[in-house]
Amino acid sequence: MEIIEKAPAKINLGLDVLYKRDDGYHELEMIMASIDLADRLTFQPIREEKIIIETNSGFLPTDRKNNIFQAIEAMKKHYNFPGGIHVELHKNIPVAAGLGGGSSDAAATFRGVNRLFSLNATLEDLTQLAIPIGTDIPFCLQGNTALVTGLGEIVTPLTNPIPQCWVVLVKPKISVSTPRVFSKIEAESLSHPNIEKLKASIEKNDYSEMTQYLGNSLEDYTTAKFPVVQHIKDKMIQFGADASVMSGSGPTVIGLCDKYSRALHVANSLKGFCQEVYVVRTLNK
């Protein structure tokens, strides 16, 4: 028996760092949306008490450092199913790109293991197991478009998903460590996008208004350290994107376009600056 799960990437349309909490983490307010760039995971049970991960990516660990491994361990400890699991991961989402690839792989693992062993775990059950592994995983378990608060563990689906549009993704040849970014920032000195207005524009399906309220507090730090991120943002607008913003802690920059022809023009124009350029759609369930 084998189970196949897709793991869609996520983008941040809005990300606001509100303040540093007493526990040392930062309180966040975000609007996240799923896109149709996805990894593919295949799960098979094995008799041995082992977790075996195989992948087409040479950049990923296949041991306990991998979120897939940690998700299986958490499910095994909680549900004590027999034997082990073999996972084949076909990686399409760029690594360390601010697109939630590792978190989405973990979310797909929770769903896949649940199905593989007919564990009947609820979304709430899986979310509780996921939080210690990664705070983007709760959103990735649900997908679509949502307001995400707290550390990222509180997910409130929007009444309407993001207006259907085309997304140009550009990842420069740098990697950004999310923990390092958060260790360096001071919330008081950052810019703060208007998440409430962004949310309202999405819920009334107003694409034009939505593009006016994209924003990311973490851009202040990442663009200062890596000027290429700002350069890509500027070029996206120059080549015709309706709006541009960095996703997550970066370095990937997203540009929104209401027409495919325009998105294709933006992407082709940017291929001279970066090799990793994608044109994808928002994923509305």
Q: Judge whether residue 279 has pLDDT over 80.
A: yes
Among the candidates 157, 174, 191, a domain finishes at: 157
Q: Judge whether residue 285 has pLDDT over 70.
A: no
Q: Over pLDDT 70: what percentage of the chain?
A: 100
Tell whether 172 and 132 lie within a shared domain.
Answer: no
In the residue annotation, 136 being an active-site residue is answered as: yes
C-alpha to C-alpha distance for 42 and 147, rounded to whole angstroms? 30
Among the candidates 127, 157, 187, a domain finishes at: 157
Domain at 89, CATH number = 3.30.230.10
Q: Which of 16, 39, 136, 242 is catalytic?
A: 136
Tell whether 19 and 59 lie within a shared domain.
Answer: yes
Tell whether 151 and 184 lie within a shared domain.
Answer: no
Tell whether 201 and 108 lie within a shared domain.
Answer: no
Tell whether 174 and 143 lie within a shared domain.
Answer: no
* pLDDT computed for residue 118 by the predictor: 97
* pLDDT computed for residue 48 by the predictor: 95
Among the candidates 114, 135, 157, a domain finishes at: 157
* Binding site per annotation, positions: 94-104
Tell whether 47 and 174 lie within a shared domain.
Answer: no
Tokens of 28: 């966040």
Tell whether 10 and 144 lie within a shared domain.
Answer: yes
In the residue annotation, 10 being an active-site residue is answered as: yes
Tell whether 207 and 253 lie within a shared domain.
Answer: yes
Tens digits of residue pLDDT in 131-154: 999 989 999 999 999 999 999 999
Tell whether 120 and 20 lie within a shared domain.
Answer: yes
CB 28 within 8 A of CB 148: yes
Q: Mean of the pLDDT values across residues 244-254?
A: 94
* pLDDT computed for residue 275 by the predictor: 84
Q: Mean of the pLDDT values across residues 231-236?
A: 96
- Give the distance, in angstroms, between the CA of residue 113 and the centroid of all CA atoms in the same chain: 21
Tell whether 12 and 125 lie within a shared domain.
Answer: yes
- In 3-state terms, the chain is what percent helix, strand and coil (to 5)? 35, 30, 35
Which among 183, 136, 168, 180 is positioned nearest to 155, based on CA atoms?
136
- Count of other CB atoms within 10 angstroms of residue 208: 11
* Binding site per annotation, positions for ATP: 94-104
Domain that holds residue 104: 3-157
Domain at 260, CATH number = 3.30.70.890
- Count of other CB atoms within 10 angstroms of residue 196: 13
pTM over 0.85: yes
Tell whether 39 and 125 lie within a shared domain.
Answer: yes
C-alpha to C-alpha distance for 170 and 99, rounded to whole angstroms? 11
Tell whether 149 and 177 lie within a shared domain.
Answer: no
Q: Judge whether residue 180 has pLDDT over 70.
A: yes
Domain count, the chain: 2
